[in-house]
């Protein structure tokens, strides 16, 4: 009977060792599967973060963009203020001349309207040709034998 007990104990030990191996292998397989899933989830999270990175980087510059727009508005306003000051200065500088023109037109009896001074440009070649034509025409008229 001792031998049977020893055989039964050995069989029990062998069965328990096999059971332990099977359970250990199953838990090892489960653990490997969970690790693979965790790695896949981590890779997916990194991919999503990489896809969101440009939008997040753009948000970093949103404040600077708003400051730039505010600065541009300020510059535009300052330009308008400066142009208004220039217009007022020019108006004040021209006031005596306008008053003199109005007084002069009152004395002469001819109303003088607004006169704008336009820049005059001369073409030297055209002036030379025009002058030559005028001289030759006056010489032609003063010619005594040409007017018989």
| Amino acid 54: pLDDT | 86
H or E element in which residue 22 lies: helix 2-60
Q: Measure CA 108 to chain center.
A: 59
pTM: 0.38
77-93 as b/e: b if 16+ CB within 10 A: eeeeeeeeeeeeeeeee
| The pLDDT of residue 117 | 47
Residue found by looking up tokens 């199953």 in the block: 26
Measured distance CA(14)–CA(20) in Å, rounded: 10
Q: Are 139 and 145 in contact (CB under 8 A)?
A: no
**How buried is residue 148: exposed, middle or buried, by Cβ count under 10 Å (0-12/13-18/19+)?**
exposed
pLDDT computed for residue 114 by the predictor: 55
What string of pLDDT tens digits covers the 148 residues of the chain? 667 777 777 777 777 777 667 766 677 778 888 899 999 999 999 998 888 888 888 888 888 899 999 999 999 999 999 999 999 999 999 999 999 998 888 888 776 665 554 545 556 666 666 666 665 655 555 555 555 4
Beta carbons of 105 and 112 less than 8 angstroms apart: yes
């Amino acid at each position: 009977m001792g031998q049977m007990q020893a055989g039964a104990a050995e069989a029990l030990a062998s069965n328990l060792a096999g059971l332990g191996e099977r359970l250990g292998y199953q838990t090892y397989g489960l653990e490997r599967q969970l690790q693979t899933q965790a790695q896949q989830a981590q890779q997916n999270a990194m991919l999503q973060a990489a896809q969101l990175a440009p939008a997040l980087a753009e948000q970093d510059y949103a404040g600077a963009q708003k400051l730039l727009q505010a600065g541009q508005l300020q510059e535009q306003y300052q330009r308008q203020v400066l142009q208004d000051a220039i217009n007022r200065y020019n108006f004040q500088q021209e006031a005596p001349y306008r008053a003199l023109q109005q007084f002069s037109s009152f004395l002469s009896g001819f109303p003088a309207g607004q006169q704008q001074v336009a820049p005059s440009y001369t073409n030297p070649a055209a002036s030379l040709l025009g002058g030559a034509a005028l001289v030759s025409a006056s010489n032609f008229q003063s010619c005594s034998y040409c007017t018989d």
